[in-house]
Each structure stands twice: as C-alpha cells, then as structure tokens.
Structure 1
C-alpha cells in the first residue's frame, strides 16, 4: 500500500510551496558555506512513482502541517542551523526546502533532534504492524535519565470506494490521522506502547515500583488520562532518579 501511495508525496510537494514560505531562499540562518557544510545531512526525495492519486480525490494530508515552517536541527546539543521543514508523517521523512527551492529529505539519524513549532522530534527504532523494526520519528514529550514519554503520529491510508449505483455515495481515498503514546527506557532498544492512557496501563507499562508511582500520583493529584499529567509524572520520576544519584 505504501508503494502505491508513494507518488502522493511527489504530487503535492511542489504545489504547496508558495513564495511566502521561501523567505531567505529556504535557509533561514547561516551563510552559503554553512549550508554546504551540512548538505550531506540531506538526500534527494525518493521518486518511486507507481500509481498516481489525484489530490482532488484525497481526504486528509500526509503532513503534520502542509506548509514548510521555520525549524531547527540539533546534533549532540549543537545547532546545525535553521531551515524550512515539514514532517511527512505518511512517508516518515523530514522534508527540507533548500535555498534553490529544491525539496530534500533529512537523513535519519538518532543523533539529530528536529524542532518544529516548539515540538521536538527524534528518530528511534519502532516495531511496525508487520513485526519489523524500522527507524521512525517520535515526538519527545518528556525525557530524562529514567524514562522518556513519546508520541507517535500516523497517517493511515484507506482506499476509496466508487459508488456502485446512483443510490450509493462515493468514498474518496483517505489519509486518517491518529496518534499513540510510548515509554522509552534508556536500557531498552524499543519504545513500549501504552495501549490506553489511564492509571492502570501507565503503572504497568512503566515497570517501576508501584508504591513510588502511586505516591507521586496522589501527592500531585495527577489524572493519568491527561497527557499533561503523564508529562508531570515522568518529569517527577526522572527528577527522583537524579536526586537518588546525587545522594
């Protein structure tokens, strides 16, 4: 299915680029030398065209935001510069608009952090529905020495259905947006999915002393059905880990 749909990213890349999105020719900061220095981070977008799906026949978008936005790329805490970036969720790539108006793909590396609209993304291993490990982008909601709290964005493709008769309604091909949440422990390779955000699932998924977690929940009046409260819990657990190490 992904191969069939791969043409969509090519079809809608360029019509969405407007002059307003290409201020400073795509590279927001840094000299030409700076751009050349880090150009090896990018690789040309793949163009494996199979079956064209006209944009007019599609519901939804493969992107987190369809326009390129000002973002920054960091490696090991050092800024590599500011660029116009958009996250293609369906194809799992960060697309970069270069100074010559060419769309390129950021090479995937766990050492890179991408910041878009105050949101941080990083590549981590992911066990896909086919039980294969691939490198994908996770949004980092909270991180620390003990555990990280992650969000995974999805775009699920559903083929359309033509109306069989005049009494039936035609259904367009659709990209359905969805998200899921994960914990990632520093001593584990794969993030662990949280099936549903609630106290029981989170306690079981964390695999940390239950009394410690319950104590933090009660003391801070946390509702673990709320993402912001899960963030607070993970921050507290990471703070306690640092305190214990100092002690």
Structure 2
C-alpha cells in the first residue's frame, strides 16, 4: 500500500510539472500576436487584428511580388494624432492591406491590421493612410494612399497598385509557357482644398490644367513649358503641384 501511495504522489507531481510547462506563455513582445496561443495585450490592437487572407495556390513560377517590400520594416503607427507604437509592417499592395508583427522574429505569425480611416503608418519614406478614393473608371474604392505633396490648393497622393496576371501553359513544344506575374504600377490621386473627394489624376498636361481654375491655367501652362516638366515623372509631378500650391486663389 505504501508503494502504491508513493507512486500516486510521484505521478501527480510529474503531471503538475508538465501542466506548468505546457501552459507557459512566452514572455516579452514575441508572444503578443499569438505565439503560444497568446492574444495581444495592447488595448489598441486587441480588436484590430485579423488573420491574413488565404493565398491562392498557384502552380509554377510567379514573377514579381504583391509587396512593396518583402521584408517587415519597423514602422511608426498612429491613430489620428496619437502615436500607438513601433511595429514591424509589410504592405500587401495587391490586397491593399497591412501585415503587422510586434517583432522581427520569423517565427512570429503576422496578422492583418483591420482597415480604419484614422490609421497612419510611417512606412519607410512614405506615410500610408487608409482612405476612400475614386479611380479613373469612376469607381469608389478603399485603400492605402500616401501624401506626397500637400498645400493650400491641392493635396497629391501616391498609390502603389499591383495587378496579378495568371500565366498560360505551353500548348506545344514550339510555344514557351507564360509564367504568372505580379505587375506593380503607380497611380496618382488629387484632392482639391474644400472638396470632400479624392480623384485619380490623369497625368496628361491638358487633364492637369483642366482641374485648375480657368484663371490659373495659363500661368501653370507657362511653368510646365519653361521648366520642361514631364508629368510622368514623380519628381516633376510633385514640383508642379508645389507650384500650383503657391498660386493665390483667394482673389
């Protein structure tokens, strides 16, 4: 009987020890987004995280990337004017979503930051803002834009867009297969001061002049000619809107 009681005590102690080990929560920031089954303790993020969208399984080679940068970049996150903290961010331009981690450790599972028009993310050299805009087809869309010029007359936005094109298999030995690819391209949007909408910018000179007041078109047209502006070049486009924002429209 004595040996039986000793065995019970010994097994019970092993069970308790194993339970303590298996129930341990990883300390530090590394466990905050779900490592070890732990939810984030950040009150701001607690209700703003979701699983990443499932990726489509595509066979074969895929050229390009849906990401602005494949790496997670340490970035500052704001909600309105309130600084929330530094997090590791990767921007999926194809899905127009922010992937977020609290550390750079590869074993930490990334989450999707739910979209909110109060979010601002200092990501590299750009600041991503979730907003509503109207594309050239007249469709109302939601996504992340970056302000690249802001003045008293206009705000100019940059948008990295990604399009996925599915490849085609070779129909015979004489034809090369076409791989699937992610194609990145840039779009620009503008918002006139006092107008509550953001529209895609047509970068043709006539179209840019058309968004201006009639009395300002000649002076801007002269600027474009004198400065030999190429509106397809981002630096020249920014210079143009910097000039437009110097025009006094109050008279």
Same fold (TM over 0.5): yes
Q: What's 1:193 paired with?
A: 200
Q: What's 2:101 paired with?
A: 97
Residue range with higher mean Cα deviation, 118-127 or 187-196: 187-196
Q: What's 2:178 paired with?
A: 171
> Conserved in 1, the CA contact under 8 Å of 2:135 and 2:200?
no
1:111: Cα distance to partner?
2.0
Q: Deviations over 1:50-94 (max 9, x none)?
A: x5114x521111100001011111233332111100110001101
1:46: Cα distance to partner?
4.3
1:239: Cα distance to partner?
4.7
User: Aligned equivalents of 1:203 and 1:128: distance in 2?
Assistant: 18
What 5-or-longer segments of structure 1 have no aligned partner?
1-23, 28-33
State the number of aligned residues.
Answer: 211
TM-score, scaled relative to structure 1? 0.72
User: Aligned equivalents of 2:228 and 2:180: distance in 1?
Assistant: 40
Q: What's 2:117 paired with?
A: 110
Q: Is 1:139 aligned to residue 138 of structure 2?
A: no
> Conserved in 2, the CA contact under 8 Å of 1:42 and 1:104?
no
Whichever structure has more helix as a proportion of its residues is 1
3-state SS, counterpart of residue 79 of structure 1: strand
3-state SS, counterpart of residue 63 of structure 2: coil
1:207: Cα distance to partner?
4.4
Residue 50 (structure 2) aligned to one of 44, 63, 80: 44
TM-score, scaled relative to structure 2? 0.71
Q: Is 1:66 aligned to residue 73 of structure 2?
A: no
3-state SS, counterpart of residue 42 of structure 2: helix
User: Aligned equivalents of 1:210 and 1:57: distance in 2?
Assistant: 49
Higher Cα radius of gyration: 2
